[in-house]
Amino acid sequence: MASALENFVNSVRTHSSSGLFEELATHLLECDELLNKNWNILDNVLETLNVSQHSLGVLYVLVAKFNCAANLNLDADAIFTLFKDFIEQCDIYQVQLAAHVYYELCHLFTKKMVTQSSCIYALNVLAAAINQIRSSESQLTPIHADLCKLSLKSKCFKVALKYLDTDITSITTASETRVHKPVEDPNGDAEYFLLYYYYGGMIYTAIKNFERALYFFEACISTPAMAMSYIMLEAYKKFILVSLILHGKIVPIPKYSSQVISRFMKPIAQVYHAMAIAYATASSEELRAVINKFSETFLRDNNMGLVKQVATSLYKKNIQRLTKTFLTLSLSDVASRVQLPTAALAEKYILNMIKSGEIYASINQKDGMVIFKDDPEKYNSSEMFLKIQQDMDKTMNLIKKINVMEEDIILNPMYVKKAIGSQDEDITSQQAKPYSSDPID
């Protein structure tokens, strides 16, 4: 083993045995180049270190090893085993001192596993990595985006949904742990934040939870920004499509959103706005014409599946409009009014909408008549009372969280200093400004 690496190992073992982990974490910040240069003998280093006792040292070695995986001919199975063993055995206190390196290790692991057909096996391991590093269930980490990415690749959403269904109240970033080192990628934390909401929106879209999907895409595009992000642009396109499916129109963007949307995103996404204009006419023929005209764009954006669902939703919206006008209607009339080709297809749509609770109706098979009904829910059942109670409890808990967050902000020294500075500036400007009624000599 090279003498420089021997010094590295000795330093890790000495500091760890003495419990000087913070000092070791600072020292290891300068060891990246050394480990990357000696990539061919990193296995020897790992053999001399214990994962639980020397977690900081092993963490840096694994990052260097994963970075040089191509040179080492490391296959996915070897990377999976190394990562899994580290997550299961590492000392969380040591890892938290170098959280940015821990996040980098997870990103490298995801980058390798997402190319494998067996990436589904990595989901639970990555979930365990998140649980190790986060301080609460409602804290967002940069690894959340990796988990969502693997979930989309494997088409297995069960693990990711446990995290997506939890509303975020705090965020941890890689830059928070780089106090002794310049930030190499200042936009890295923002990227993983945007990707979490973008991938999350895609997952909810896949399971047809459009209300939650719309929220995630909105969170992505309304993130404060000084320049346009490709992630935000793609989220904006899907935001338009999900808005049409859910509400039949483009939902207004929050007022606090960046001007980037109106200046750059809207002109680039003109095709999707053209689709929204056609949708507003309630004419399925016009909507199909727009879809056919810009089909290449939708295919290039990988949004054709969602576009087809928009077309389907227009048929449903038109059927729902009929329930407000007619009590009974023949299947052939329904097909004609909503521009479906056959009565059989109209019957299929109506049956699916009845099953999903989108309309309340029955079909008389003898004469082919549809009987539209009112919503049978009277809001007086024990189940409905329990649901209202649960919603009220959820709202009260949310209010408590908001109050705690507001108190933390008010007591934050940086906020207090800025607030006092703003007040001083206002007082100074008011004193310097003459009154309009001042006499003029």
Which tens digits make up the pLDDT trace of 184-206?
555 578 999 999 999 999 999 99
Residue 52's domain comprises 1-123
pTM of the full structure: 0.87
- The reply to whether 343 and 236 lie within a common domain is no
Residue 154 pLDDT exceeds 90: yes
**What local confidence, expressed as pLDDT, does residue 430 receive?**
58
Angle 43-44-47 from CA coordinates, rounded to 5°: 90
Domain annotation covers residue 131: no
As a whole number, the mean pLDDT across the chain is: 89
Distance, CA of 362 to chain centre: 40
Q: Is 118 a domain residue?
A: yes
Does 95 share its domain with 216?
no
| β-sheet with 361-364: strand ranges across | 328-330, 369-372, 361-364
CB 202 within 8 A of CB 238: yes
User: Got the DSSP string for 72-91?
Assistant: HT--HHHHHHHHHHHHHH--
- Tokens of residue 177, six digits: 């742990």
Q: How many domains is the chain built from? A: 3
Place 181 in a pLDDT band, splitting at 50, 70 and 90: low
**Could you give the percent of the chain with pLDDT greater than 70?**
91
299 and 357: one domain? no
* Burial class of 90 by CB neighbour count within 10 A (0 to 12, 13 to 18, 19+): buried
- Name the domain boundary from 324, 358, 381: 324
DSSP state letter for 434: P
* Of the residues 303, 324, 345, the one at which a domain ends: 324
Measured distance CA(88)–CA(272) in Å, rounded: 46
Domain boundary among 94, 123, 152: 123
Task: Indicate whether 276 and 333 sit together in one domain.
Answer: no
pLDDT tens for residues 62-101?
999 998 876 667 788 999 999 999 999 999 999 999 999 9
Tell whether 233 and 345 lie within a shared domain.
no
258-263 mean pLDDT? 82
318 and 331 in a single domain? The answer is no
Same domain, 333 and 313: no
The alpha carbon of residue 240 and the mean position of all alpha carbons in its chain are separated, in whole angstroms, by 17
How many Å is the maximal CA-CA distance in the chain? 97
In whole angstroms, give the CA distance from residue 230 to residue 265.
10
CATH number at residue 365: 1.10.10.10
Same structural domain for residues 289 and 339? no
Q: Which comes out higher in pLDDT, residue 143 or 414?
A: 143
User: Is 117 found in the same domain as 14?
Assistant: yes
Q: How far apart are CA 401 and CA 394, in angstroms?
A: 11
Q: Do 352 and 388 fall into the same domain?
A: yes
Do 317 and 356 lie in one domain? The reply is no
Strands 139-140 and 170-171 come out as parallel
**Is residue 300 domain-shared with residue 335, that is, in the same domain?**
no
Question: Who wins on pLDDT, 441 or 244?
Answer: 244
Distance CA 254, CA 251 (A): 9
Percent of residues in the chain assigned helix, strand, coil, to nearest 5? 70, 5, 25
